[in-house]
């Protein structure tokens, strides 16, 4: 899909600027330190006889290709599915990512040899013919003798059902007030999914959307780290949200910044979806406690043909205080022609979607 001037402007709004020499030096040092720590931990673990395993994540795709997601880690946890799913809180950050690990992916009767990135993340697009719906692919480490195989679900979009949902997680489907630094650390490193509060009415809303659009994919887009994927997956399942891939990010320095940009991550993923599925209209759902309004507005300005509507959950006064305030501007005004919905909970969203014929 060709890049439009609006799309380029959208990316530039938050994207990388040429760093100053001082920033370049600081980033270079941070990346070297980060790499040295990763290598030291990996070498020490291998000397102890520990071997890498694949942590599978849900992926998505079309009838001619799929995006396979996962992570290669050295962990002292039970490598069974039950053992991996039991990882909670700060323990999810103790696994050691394996740099450039070779992985064998089997999908639709074909084999593909891929490499994880420097953070151990597997994020690859492979060509395979599959029918719409859920499928299983297997992944295993190629450089480990008799390595265990792990299964990752993949949702293949139906080309005849061009509607989908992209949902934020924090303060949208679960109440976390994540931007507050101390509370963010508590939620990430200590709290488990049992203590997290689902947003009132949102799981019922999503289930109604799923029943109204049975072939629609649900993608959960968050600035959270891949380390917390098991916790988020358990939370979504326990609270009866529709199954769907998590689109998370990896913490750590990038070539042009010491700390990874959450907004840039969301923009990259939205731009990717627009390129991969040019005929799909997405219902974008977020909240007014972070930057979802601005991010979604920029995407709608660049790709109005890919937006069915934008839903923004309005935080309560107490949630807004914990989240560091609300968005100061209403990005819908004089910026986009798409339909905006503002509501405090799933019930009000449902009424608004019904009025617009989307539910």
Find the range with the poorest average confidence among 139-143, 194-198, 216-220.
194-198
Q: Is the pLDDT reported for residue 266 higher than 60?
A: yes
d(CA 11, CA 299): 9
Q: Is the pLDDT reported for residue 143 higher than 60?
A: yes
Which is higher by pLDDT, 326 or 55? Answer: 55
| Residue range 235-254, pLDDT digits in tens | 999 999 999 999 998 866 56
Confidence band (pLDDT; 50, 70, 90) for 29?
confident
The whole-number average pLDDT for the span 121-133 is: 97
Show the tokens assigned to 342.
């503002």
Q: What angle do CA 280, 281, 285 make, to 5 degrees?
A: 130
In the chain, domain spans: 53-156, 163-355
Sign, CA torsion 280/286/292/294: positive
Q: Residue 329 has what pLDDT? A: 53
Q: Is the pLDDT reported for residue 286 higher than 80?
A: yes
Mean pLDDT (the chain) is: 82
What backbone phi and psi angles, to 5 degrees, belong to 168? -70, 165
d(CA 64, CA 299): 26
Q: Is the pLDDT reported for residue 129 higher than 50?
A: yes
Q: What is the pTM of this model?
A: 0.85
Contact 171, 177 (CB under 8 A): yes
Confidence band (pLDDT; 50, 70, 90) for 46?
confident
The whole-number average pLDDT for the span 50-55 is: 90
| Residue range 33-44, pLDDT digits in tens | 777 777 778 788
Q: Is the pLDDT reported for residue 359 higher than 60?
A: yes
d(CA 153, CA 2): 30
Q: What angle do CA 37, 40, 46 make, to 5 degrees?
A: 140
Q: Residue 1 has what pLDDT? A: 43
Reduced 3-state DSSP string for the chain:
CCCCHHHHHHHHHHCCCCCCHHHHHHHHHHHHHHHHHHHHHHHHHHHCCCCCEEEEEEEEECCCEEEEEEEEEECCCCCCHHHHHCCCHHHHHCCEECCCCEEEEEECCEEEEEECCCCCEEEEEEECCCCCEEEEEEEEECCCCCCCCEEEEEEECCCCCCEEEEECCECCCEECCCCCHHHHHHHHHCCCHHHCEECCCHHHHHHHHHHHCCCCCEEEEEEEEHHHHHHHHHHHHHCCCCCCCEEEECCCCECCECCCCHHHHHHHHHHHHHHHCCCCEEEEEEECCCCHHHHHHHHHHHCHHHEEEEEEECCCHHHHHHCCCCCCCCCCCCCCCCCEEEECCHHHHHHHHHHCCCC
Domain at 53-156: CATH architecture? Sandwich (2.60)
d(CA 125, CA 106): 13
Domain at 163-355: CATH architecture? 3-Layer(aba) Sandwich (3.40)
Contact 243, 216 (CB under 8 A): no
How far is the CA of 123 from the CAs of 72, 84, 109, 119, in angstroms?
Answer: 11, 19, 20, 11
Confidence band (pLDDT; 50, 70, 90) for 263?
confident
The whole-number average pLDDT for the span 313-324 is: 66
Residue 39: name the closest of 31, 25, 256 by CA.
Answer: 31
The whole-number average pLDDT for the span 57-78 is: 90
d(CA 187, CA 171): 12
The whole-number average pLDDT for the span 204-221 is: 97
Q: Is the pLDDT reported for residue 101 higher than 90?
A: yes
Find the range with the poorest average confidence among 57-61, 79-83, 259-263.
79-83
């Amino acid at each position: 899909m060709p890049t439009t001037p609006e799309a380029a402007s959208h990316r530039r709004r938050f994207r990388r600027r040429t760093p100053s020499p001082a920033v370049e030096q600081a980033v270079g040092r941070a990346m070297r330190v980060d790499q040295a720590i990763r290598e030291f931990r990996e070498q020490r673990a291998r000397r102890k006889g520990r071997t890498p395993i694949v942590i599978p994540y849900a992926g998505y795709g079309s009838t001619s290709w799929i995006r396979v997601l996962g992570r290669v880690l050295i962990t002292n946890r039970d490598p069974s599915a039950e053992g991996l799913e039991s990882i909670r809180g700060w323990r999810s950050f103790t696994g050691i990512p394996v740099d450039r690990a070779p992985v064998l992916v089997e999908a639709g009767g074909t084999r593909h040899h891929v490499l994880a990135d420097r953070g151990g993340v597997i994020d690859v697009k492979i060509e395979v013919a599959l029918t719409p719906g859920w499928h299983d692919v297997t992944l295993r480490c190629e450089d480990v003798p008799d390595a265990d195989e792990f299964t990752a679900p993949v949702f293949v979009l139906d080309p005849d059902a061009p509607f989908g949902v992209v949902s934020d997680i924090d303060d949208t489907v679960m109440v976390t007030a994540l931007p507050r630094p101390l509370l963010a650390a508590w939620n990430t490193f200590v709290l488990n999914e049992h203590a997290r509060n689902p947003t009132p009415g949102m799981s019922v809303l999503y289930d109604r959307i799923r029943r109204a659009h049975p072939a629609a994919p649900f993608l959960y887009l968050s600035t959270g780290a891949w380390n917390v994927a098991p916790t988020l997956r358990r939370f979504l399942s326990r609270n009866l949200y529709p199954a769907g891939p998590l689109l998370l990010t990896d913490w750590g320095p990038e070539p042009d910044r010491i700390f990874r940009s959450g907004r840039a991550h969301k923009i990259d993923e939205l731009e990717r979806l627009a390129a991969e599925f040019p005929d799909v209209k997405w219902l974008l759902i977020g909240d007014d406690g972070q930057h979802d309004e601005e991010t979604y507005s920029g995407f709608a300005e660049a790709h109005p043909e890919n937006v069915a509507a934008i839903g923004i959950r309005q935080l309560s006064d107490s949630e807004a205080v914990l989240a560091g305030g609300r968005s100061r501007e209403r990005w819908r005004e004089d910026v986009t022609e798409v339909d905006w919905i503002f509501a405090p909970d799933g019930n009000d969203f449902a009424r608004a979607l019904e009025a617009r014929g989307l539910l």
